Amino acid sequence: MATFTKLTSRYVVLDRNDVDTDQIIPARFLKVTTKEGLERHLFADWRWDEAGLPREGFPLDAEEARGAAILVAGDNFGCGSSREHAPWALLSFGFRAIVARSFADIFCANALKNGLVPVVVDAEMHAAILASRASEPRASLTVDLAAEEVTLEGATAQRFSVDPFARHCLLSGLDELGYLLSHEKEIAAHEAARRT
């Protein structure tokens, strides 16, 4: 079971809105039957050129991005398909939190189930994070899930919120399927009442 409490890390800025799941991992890489090994395909068409070399200027392979566990993006991150391969690819690359102005619903749910924390910040905080990165390439962010606070190094914290149950699962290591299975009696009662 994925867990998450608090993370301080440098961050990668992908200052784009509506980053869709086809960019996060193009569909041609979905012919797999496991969750592992998807990091090579993360942002594949933005990241690699025709020769398979890193494209200049794409932030994932910048020197200061090395080891960063937080990705910062714009509005509506993760729109498009329901593929859980998107959070799997982000996680296997090394990301543990995504900071954005908003998220698409299915991506947000998929991310939380895998311990990738979606952090919504307002426009002001978002601008501060980008500005800080411009002046200090090694600036860091702290994502504290227990306190539901995100802090830009040397600045004030901002509150964020995630689904309370998902948060509880990540903090305590509670297994969601285990929780569902523990309601066998209620499930059976529902089925009996509706003759389904």
Partner 1 sequence: MNAAKAAKTESEDLHPSSKTMLDRVFSEHLVAQGPGAPPMLYVDLHLLHEVTSPQAFAGLRARGLRVRRPDRTVATMDHSIPTNRASFPTSTAGPVTLANLTLDDAARAQLRQLEDNCREFGVELHALGGEHQGIVHVIGPELGLTQPGMTIVCGDSHTSTHGAFGALAFGIGTSEVENVLATQCLLATKPRAMEIRVDGFLGRGVTAKDLVLAIIAEIGVGGGTGHVLEFTGDAVRSLDMEARMTVCNMSIEAGARAGMIAPDDVTFQYLARRERAPKGAAWDEALHRWRALPSDPEARFDRRVQIDASRIEPMITYGTHPGMGIGVTGVVPDASMLSSAEQAAHARALEYMGLRPGERLLGKKIDVVFIGSCTNSRIADLRAAARVLDGRRVAAGVRTLIVPGSMAVKRQAEAEGLDRIFEDAGAEWRNPGCSMCIAMNGDQLRPGEWSVSTSNRNFEGRQGKGGRTFLASPLTAAAAAVTGCITDVRGLL
Query: How far apart are CB 170 and partner 1 at their closest, in Å?
Result: 13
Nearer to partner 1, 8 or 82 (CB): 82
Nearer to partner 1, 127 or 153 (CB): 127
Please identify, using beta-carbon distances, which residue of 123 and 155 lies nearer to partner 1.
123
Looking up tokens 């991992």 gives: 25
Q: How far is CA 21 from the centre of its chain?
A: 12
Both structure tokens of 108: 């947000």
Q: Which residues contact 89 (CB under 8 A, 6 or more apart)?
A: 24, 25, 38, 39, 41, 42
| 6-13 β-sheet, strand order | 117-120, 97-100, 70-72, 6-13, 140-144, 149-152, 157-159
For residue 155, state whether it binds partner 1 (rule: CB under 8 A).
no
Check residue 138 for interaction with partner 1 (CB under 8 A): no
103-132 residues near partner 1, rule: CB under 8 A: 104-106, 109-110, 113-114
Q: Which alpha helices (DSSP H) does 12-152 contain, by range? A: 21-24, 44-47, 85-93, 105-113, 123-135
Nearer to partner 1, 146 or 181 (CB): 181
Q: Confirm or reject binding of residue 92 to partner 1 (CB under 8 A).
A: no
Cα gap 24→90, rounded to integer Å: 8
Unique residue bearing structure tokens 């994932």:
60
Alpha helices in the chain (DSSP H): 21-24, 44-47, 85-93, 105-113, 123-135, 164-172, 176-181, 184-193
Which residue in the set 1, 6, 32, 134 belongs to the binding site for partner 1 (CB under 8 A)?
32
In angstroms, give the least distance from the CB of 23 to partner 1.
6
Q: Choose between 110 and 140: whose C-beta lies nearer to partner 1.
A: 110
Give the Cβ contact number of residue 36 at 10 Å.
8
Q: Is 62 in the site for partner 1 (CB under 8 A)?
A: no
Size of the site for partner 1 (CB under 8 A): 51
Contact flag: residue 27 with partner 1 (CB under 8 A):
yes
- Contacting positions for partner 1 (CB under 8 A): 15-18, 20, 22-23, 26-28, 30-35, 45, 74-76, 79-84, 87, 102, 104-106, 109-110, 113-114, 163-165, 168, 176-177, 179-181, 183-184, 186-187, 190-191, 196
